[in-house]
């Protein structure tokens, strides 16, 4: 190890000067032409109305807007009107006339046949358009013609036309199973199928308003606005996916009649900062677990019943709370908000406890071992669930599953169960959070020394146990072995090789940065050079596959590691290797529009170049990377309930091929939109940044409430690095 020490024998003062100079270039290069000022934008939101809000029993079949803009609903011949808060019986006020039959023009008979063949009628500026079973017709009430939309060399003869409407620009729209289209001018149309981004085409109705065109379908609603289609499906947006009818009021609010009641999708102007305040408040209200305040999912007694939400432990509380710590630290750095500073202090204390609670008690672990999470002994004994029979079942299905009992030892105070067999997920979160907290929140020597104590304790454990997390049984944990023998010589772990190498290098880099102790740098250099861990990190297995390759959680962790590796590294050769690693990894991640991965990549490589034997490569993210960050942050839903969702029926989806995920069934039920990107976040189940956005069907019961950390972390990081501003 002495040889590696000589390679980097700078004194601490010089190292700090180099680091500060590097950080200045790290942010200054990214500031050219930035930040982008975001300002207000429209946020879509959903309200659902059922009998509990006054609707009559039965399927809502029709909606209508009265002369004063009031919305009326018909359910089994009973008509209700919305009074601004509830639905009340319309009474004998003539509301039934709003639901009269479609106008019938006798002169149409020779073209469309019977009255039943007419589906919808719309009128504008003297023209009447008719959607009929036999096609699209237009006329003046006496003379009619069959309309054949033409776009360039493409000529449609749509049949089974379901709906027609004129939009705010006076353009005629139609909807049919073949697709939708609007007339630009006489003989000139714009036509849309799945290839042009139309999500679904089994239409039931259509309505226009001041903010685009809405379509109802048998399995969701579609909004066309600003040249793009948005799909609204699942309980996040609709109380039932069967849209029987819809209306749009003058303020742009869309109302949907469904078998389950009435859904309302409305917009209000917000800023990213206002969204951040909302998510922060939600975390304080629902997501803090134990007095330490671990930030985790909350669970509800019934689907969407947030008033019953209670936080509970997860297997990866150290990981999630570490990301929360990084978020609050970056948030404090850009806002100076004392509340964020206080939250960061509390999160640090919570993480620190996970490396303290494991000492002593019924089954003490070696000093520095971290628990996955803790649970009060006042609660039921979790070992009744995670007993030996549980371990044996898991080991039968997965021969590498570790058998260890108890899985939940009791600490020396008798107050806490702590979960063992912790993994690299936890460590990635811990060190990611510690680095950000030390750099941006800790001002006093006392605060800094507290961090030094914790990272020393954990890193010394890894060094003392040959690069492993060694549990209370004296053996490495399943996912906590970073030794060269396991990483470089055990074929079972080939898929973990790149990520595990980046992880342990990141832990040592963070520890050296925080403590200034050369022994951690020496250990880092031994792994990086002698055992090839720096090279391992450049050959992430996912980079050998393609966009959509399995392992979103691994991507999330890898980018967390890149962030600190490149922030703290001073050796040009290692910088070059890490820059190259994140460059190739991001080439396949950019299609997810993941704001955290995009922001970390830009923080690492914006304005950077790499020269090799083939020439010089610009490592900066491709044009549009920041647009993609803002696209996702703006469309990040305010409803974070884990609702069931299916996009499998969409016609704008290209299935992933087997080569993207390797052999086996993993590619089945996955896909991406025809624009080359994954389904946008407000149409997707993948709210957390470590969830898989390529999966088309998500099974859930609506009783889990996600946190907003996946919005907050990239938002504050992008502000810190000067990419965006309010």
Residue found under tokens 């907290």: 437
**Residue 387 burial (10 A CB sphere; 0-12, 13-18, 19+):** middle
| Cα 151 from Cα 588, distance rounded (Å) | 35
CA distance 252 to 544: 47
Structure confidence by residue, pLDDT tens digits, 220-259? 999 999 999 999 999 999 999 999 999 999 999 999 999 9
Q: Please confirm whether the linkage preceding 701 is cis (ω < 30° from 0).
A: no
Alpha carbons 518 and 490: distance in angstroms, whole number: 30
pLDDT tens-digit series, residues 446-478: 999 999 999 999 999 999 999 999 999 999 999
CA distances from 131 to 95, 112, 242, 475 (A): 25, 10, 20, 72
pLDDT band at 17 (very low <50, low <70, confident <90, very high): very low
Q: How far from the centroid of its chain's Cα atoms is residue 477's Cα? A: 29
Contact 62, 245 (CB under 8 A): yes
- In the chain, the percentage of residues whose pLDDT exceeds 90 is 86
pLDDT reading at 127 higher than 50: yes
CATH code of 71-266, in short, is: 2.120.10.30
In this predicted structure, what is the pLDDT of residue 665? 75
Mean of pLDDT values over 362-375: 97
The pLDDT score that the predictor gives to residue 21 is 38
- Measured CA to CA, the distance from residue 651 to residue 395 in angstroms comes to 41
Query: For position 495, what pLDDT does the model report?
Result: 86
Query: Is a pLDDT exceeding 90 seen at residue 29?
Result: no
163 vs 77 pLDDT, higher one: 163
Compare 663 and 710 and report the one with higher pLDDT. 710
Quote the pLDDT of residue 542: 65
CA distances from 687 to 245, 359, 515, 559, 679 (A): 29, 36, 36, 18, 12
Quick check: 18 pLDDT over 50? no
Look up tokens 């690693």; give the residue.
Answer: 581
pLDDT for the residue numbered 549: 83
SS3 570: coil
Q: How far apart are CA 18 and CA 40, in angstroms?
A: 40
| 544 pLDDT tier (thresholds 50, 70, 90) | low
User: Mean of the pLDDT values across residues 28-40?
Assistant: 76
Q: What pLDDT is attached to residue 668?
A: 82
The fold of 2-40+294-725 is: Glycosyltransferase (1.50.10)
C-alpha 189/C-alpha 473 separation (Å) is: 72
Q: What pTM was computed for the model?
A: 0.93
Region 585-606: mean pLDDT is: 96
Domain with CATH 1.50.10 in the chain: 2-40+294-725
Q: Alpha-carbon distance 705 to 603, whole Å?
A: 30
The model's pLDDT over 478-517, given as tens digits with 9 standing for 90+, comes to 999 999 999 999 999 888 899 999 999 999 999 999 999 9
Report pLDDT digits (tens) over 343-356: 999 999 999 999 99
pLDDT score recorded for residue 541: 63
pLDDT band at 8 (very low <50, low <70, confident <90, very high): very low
Q: Given strand 41-49, what is the order of strands in its sheet?
A: 41-49, 261-270, 254-258, 245-248
- Quote the pLDDT of residue 96: 72
Q: What is the mean pLDDT of residues 429-447?
A: 98
**392-420 pLDDT per residue, tens:** 999 999 999 999 999 999 999 999 999 99
Task: Identify the pLDDT of residue 328.
Answer: 98
Query: In whole angstroms, what is the distance from residue 16 CA to residue 448 CA?
Result: 15
**Contact yes or no for 339/255 (Cβ under 8 A):** no
Report which of 595, 560, 600 is spatially closest to residue 583, judged by C-alpha positions.
600
pLDDT reported for residue 543: 62
Among 97-101, 187-191, 381-385, the range scoring the smallest mean pLDDT is: 97-101
Report the C-alpha gap between 417 and 383 in whole angstroms. 9
Nearest to 322 by CA among 297, 292, 344: 344
- Measure Cα distances from 323 to 64, 326, 434, 446, 543 in Å: 48, 5, 10, 23, 24
Instruction: Say how far apart CA 667 and CA 670 lie, in whole Å.
Output: 6
CATH code 2.120.10.30 region(s) in the chain:
71-266
């Amino acid at each position: 190890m002495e040889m590696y020490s000589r390679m980097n024998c700078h004194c601490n003062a010089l190292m700090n000067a180099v680091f500060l100079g590097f950080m200045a270039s790290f942010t200054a290069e990214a500031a050219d032409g930035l930040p982008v000022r975001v300002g207000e934008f429209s946020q879509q939101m959903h309200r659902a109305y059922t009998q509990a809000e006054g609707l009559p029993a039965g399927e809502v079949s029709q909606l209508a807007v009265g002369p004063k803009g009031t919305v009326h609903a018909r359910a089994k011949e009973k008509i209700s009107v919305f009074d601004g808060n509830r639905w009340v019986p319309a009474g004998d006020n003539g509301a039934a006339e709003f639901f009269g039959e479609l106008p019938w023009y006798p002169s149409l008979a020779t073209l469309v046949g019977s009255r039943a063949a007419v589906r919808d009628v719309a009128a504008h500026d003297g023209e009447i358009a008719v959607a009929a079973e036999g096609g699209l017709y237009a006329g003046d009430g006496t003379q009619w013609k069959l309309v054949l939309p033409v776009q360039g060399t493409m000529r449609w003869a749509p049949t089974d036309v379901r709906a027609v409407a004129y939009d705010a620009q006076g353009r005629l729209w139609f909807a049919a199973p073949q697709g939708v289209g609007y007339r630009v001018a006489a003989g000139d149309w714009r036509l849309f199928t799945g290839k042009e981004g139309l999500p679904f085409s089994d239409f039931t109705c259509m309505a226009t308003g001041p903010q685009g065109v809405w379509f109802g379908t048998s399995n969701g609603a579609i909004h066309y606005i600003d040249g793009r289609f948005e799909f609204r499906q699942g309980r996040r947006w609709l109380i039932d996916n069967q849209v029987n009818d819809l209306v749009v009021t003058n303020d742009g609010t869309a109302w949907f009649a469904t078998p389950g009641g009435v859904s309302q999708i409305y917009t209000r102007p917000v800023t990213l900062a206002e969204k951040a305040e909302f998510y922060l408040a939600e975390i304080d209200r629902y997501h803090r677990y134990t007095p330490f305040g671990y930030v985790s999912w909350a669970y509800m007694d019934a689907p969407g019943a947030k008033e019953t939400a209670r936080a509970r432990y997860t297997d990866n509380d150290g990981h999630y709370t570490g990301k929360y710590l990084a978020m609050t630290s970056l948030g404090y750095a850009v806002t100076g908000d004392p509340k964020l500073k206080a939250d960061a202090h509390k999160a640090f204390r919570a993480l620190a406890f996970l490396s303290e609670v494991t000492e002593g008690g019924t089954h003490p672990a070696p000093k520095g071992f971290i628990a996955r999470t803790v649970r009060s002994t006042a609660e039921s004994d979790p070992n009744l669930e995670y007993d030996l029979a549980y371990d044996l079942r898991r080991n039968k299905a997965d021969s590498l599953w570790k058998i260890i009992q108890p899985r939940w030892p009791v600490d020396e105070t008798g107050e806490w169960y702590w979960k063992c067999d912790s993994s690299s997920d936890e460590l990635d979160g811990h060190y990611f959070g510690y680095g950000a907290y030390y750099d941006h929140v800790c001002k006093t020597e006392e605060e800094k020394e507290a961090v030094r104590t914790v990272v020393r304790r954990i890193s010394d454990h890894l060094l003392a146990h040959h690069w492993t997390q060694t549990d209370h049984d004296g053996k490495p944990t399943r996912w906590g072995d970073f030794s060269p023998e396991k990483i470089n010589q055990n074929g079972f772990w080939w898929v973990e090789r790149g990520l595990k190498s980046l992880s342990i290098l990141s832990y040592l880099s963070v520890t050296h940065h925080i403590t200034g102790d050369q022994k951690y740098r020496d250990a880092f250099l031994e792994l990086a050079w002698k055992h090839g861990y720096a090279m391992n990190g450049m050959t992430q297995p996912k980079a050998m596959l393609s966009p959509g390759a399995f392992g979103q959680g691994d991507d999330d962790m890898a980018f967390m590691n890149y962030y600190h590796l490149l922030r703290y590294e001073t050796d040009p050769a290692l910088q070059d290797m890490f820059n190259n690693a994140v460059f190739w990894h991001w080439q396949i991640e950019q299609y997810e529009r993941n704001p955290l991965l995009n922001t970390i990549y830009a923080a690492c490589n914006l304005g950077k170049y790499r020269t090799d034997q083939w020439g010089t490569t610009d490592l900066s993210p491709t044009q549009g990377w920041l647009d993609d960050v803002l696209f996702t942050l703006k469309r990040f839903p305010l409803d974070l309930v884990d609702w069931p969702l299916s996009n499998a029926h969409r016609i704008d989806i290209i299935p992933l091929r087997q080569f993207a995920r390797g052999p086996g069934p993993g590619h089945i039920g996955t896909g991406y939109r025809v624009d080359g990107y994954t389904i946008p976040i407000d149409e997707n189940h993948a709210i957390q940044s470590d969830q898989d956005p390529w999966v088309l069907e998500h099974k859930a019961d609506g009783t889990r409430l996600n946190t907003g950390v996946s919005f907050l972390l990239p938002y504050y990081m992008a502000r810190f690095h000067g990419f965006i501003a309010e």
